[in-house]
Amino acid sequence: MSKRNESLNDLGIVSINLESLRYNYKVIKGTLKIKTKIAAVLKANAYGLGIEKIAKTLQKAGCELYFVATLKEGIELRRFLKKSTILILNGPPKYIRKVYQEFEKYKLIPVINSVDDLNSWISLLKQEKDNSTIALHFDTGMNRLGIPNHNLTEVKKSIKNSNKLNIFCIMSHLASADDEQCITNKIQKELFDEIIFEFPNTLTSLANSSAIFNLKNYDYSFVRSGGGLFGIDPNKKNRDLKNVISLKAKILQIRDLENEPVKSIGYNSTYSVRSSLRIAVLGIGYADGYPRHLSNRGKVLIKGKLRSIVGRICMDQLMVDIGWDEAFNGDEVILMGEQNGARIHPDELADWAGTISYEVLTSINTRVPRVYKRNNKN
């Protein structure tokens, strides 16, 4: 988005600092064992930040491995990354020849999540001349997608009976990596070690972003980082990470409510004015993905000062108590990010809303323009 078009926008803007993204990649790399690689998880359009710019920046930083959720996302990512390794977490959407051909055409690796999926893929291969590369995802305790541990013998038998399979990696997903005291982490690691023992000389992966910072000796061949690359650390243990995302809006109008006959603000009069009050109306609302749960409880930054949201957040606007500080129509307001040394971190905003930062990021609507910056310049 150009500066000229940005000036014409009266809604919110998501500003993404690509230099901070590159910096975070290096920080995460520095916490790992020398031979351990980083796989970037860029599902849901890189957490809503725009997969093209994010992927190209990470590639230049040295990233060679990528995960997305769906075949469609993988095909999109391949447009920008011609030679990188791309894996599809949800596996094939259907086990038909056309889908197989799409995986082969775009050189995408399906993650196989059940014995039935494995056998269906092997059946497809009987019609093909070439071998196929897959990843095997075992469920060690997440109880979501994944091959149950007790199916290990059956998996080995199916692979042995097929001469057309190459196993790229063995992987699993931690359920409670953000809680280093949770016994589930130890149980999952022990099960994972038992599984990978049966697949010598194969790449292995267990750690997500939380595990990278929170758990020791979970690195294996590569880690899978999504939110961590964007400066999100649920445990807030790695203070070296830089915030990549800012959510901004402009003041549309300033209102002095001292002489107004109705002493309340917004729908259903949920905020009552007990004395004179000045509010700023911002051009952003829940249709843009800003959580409506933050009505009467969220905060924003105006000229580096925290100011409270008052009244119900509307579809396209929200109202803020600005006291008697100087402010003007068109002034920039920070809903997430930094301003004059003050900061609202995505994790902090998520805490106010009673959710997680990943939901906050992926909920920001596409009508909010994404602006990319390098070295603090567009």
124-156 residue pLDDT tens: 998 888 899 999 999 999 999 999 999 999 999
pLDDT of res. 233: 78
pLDDT of res. 258: 75
Q: What is the 3-state secondary structure (H, E, C) of the chain?
A: CCHHHHHHCCCCEEEEEHHHHHHHHHHHHHHCCCCCEEEEECHHHHHHCCHHHHHHHHHHHCCCEEEECCHHHHHHHHCCCCCCEEEECCCCCCCCHHHHHHHHHCCEEEEECCHHHHHHHHHHHCCCCCCEEEEEEEECCCCCCCEEHHHHHHHHHHHHHCCCEEEEEEECCCCCCCCCCCHHHHHHHHHHHHHHHCCCCCEEECCCHHHHHHCCCCCCCEEEECHHHHCCCCCCCCCCCCCCEEEEEEEEEEEECCCCCCCEECHHHCEECCCCCEEEEECCCHHHCCCHHHCCCCEEEECCEEEEEECCCCCCCEEEECCCCCCCCCCEEEEEEEECCEEECHHHHHHHHCCCHHHHHHCCCCCCCEEEEECCEC
Task: Verify that 207 and 330 share a domain, yes or no.
Answer: no
Task: Verify that 110 and 212 share a domain, yes or no.
Answer: yes
Task: Verify that 336 and 218 share a domain, yes or no.
Answer: no
Task: Verify that 180 and 211 share a domain, yes or no.
Answer: yes
Q: Can you give the residue range of the structural domain that contains 312?
A: 245-373
Domain closes at, from 180, 206, 230? 230
pLDDT of res. 156: 96
For residues 275 and 260, the answer to whether their CB atoms sit within 8 Å is no
Q: Of the given ranges (1-10, 44-53, 87-96), which has the lowest mean pLDDT? A: 1-10
Task: Verify that 268 and 326 share a domain, yes or no.
Answer: yes
Task: Verify that 219 and 85 share a domain, yes or no.
Answer: yes
pLDDT of res. 240: 86
Per the annotation, the verdict on 372 as an active-site residue is no
pLDDT of res. 238: 61
**Is 311 among the domain residues?**
yes
> From CA 370, how far away is CA 361, in angstroms rounded?
12
Residue of 37, 43, 250, 299 marked active site: 43
Task: Verify that 174 and 59 share a domain, yes or no.
Answer: yes
What CATH number is associated with residue 334? 2.40.37.10
**Is 199 among the domain residues?**
yes
pLDDT of res. 236: 65
pLDDT of res. 378: 47
> From CA 56, how far away is CA 88, in angstroms rounded?
18
The domain tally of the chain equals 2
Per the annotation, the verdict on 66 as an active-site residue is no
Task: Give the pLDDT confidence of 56-93 residue by residue, as tens digits.
Answer: 999 999 999 999 999 999 999 999 999 999 999 999 99
Task: Give the pLDDT confidence of 205-255 residue by residue, as tens digits.
Answer: 999 999 998 998 999 999 999 999 999 976 766 668 999 999 999 999 999
Task: Verify that 175 and 283 share a domain, yes or no.
Answer: no
**Is 22 among the domain residues?**
no
Task: Verify that 221 and 252 share a domain, yes or no.
Answer: no
**Is 3 among the domain residues?**
no
Confidence of residue 5 (pLDDT cuts 50, 70, 90): very low
pTM summary value: 0.92
**Is 24 among the domain residues?**
no
130-160 burial, b if ≥16 CB within 10 A, otherwise e?
A: eebbbbbbbbbbbeebbbebebbeebeebbe
What percent of the chain is modeled with pLDDT above 70?
95
* Planar angle of CA 305, 311, 312, nearest 5 degrees: 115
> From CA 38, how far away is CA 284, in angstroms rounded?
35
**Is 137 among the domain residues?**
yes
pLDDT of res. 273: 85
Domain closes at, from 206, 230, 254? 230
What CATH number is associated with residue 160? 3.20.20.10
Task: Verify that 91 and 192 share a domain, yes or no.
Answer: yes
**Is 236 among the domain residues?**
no
Decide if pLDDT at 377 tops 80.
no
Residue of 94, 105, 237, 267 marked active site: 267
Q: pLDDT averaged over the chain?
A: 92
Task: Verify that 38 and 100 share a domain, yes or no.
Answer: yes
Task: Verify that 303 and 224 share a domain, yes or no.
Answer: no
pLDDT of res. 8: 44
pLDDT of res. 277: 85
pLDDT of res. 10: 63
Which residues on neighbouring strands pair with residue 251, listed in sequence order? 282
Is pLDDT larger for residue 179 or for residue 314? 314
**Is 364 among the domain residues?**
yes
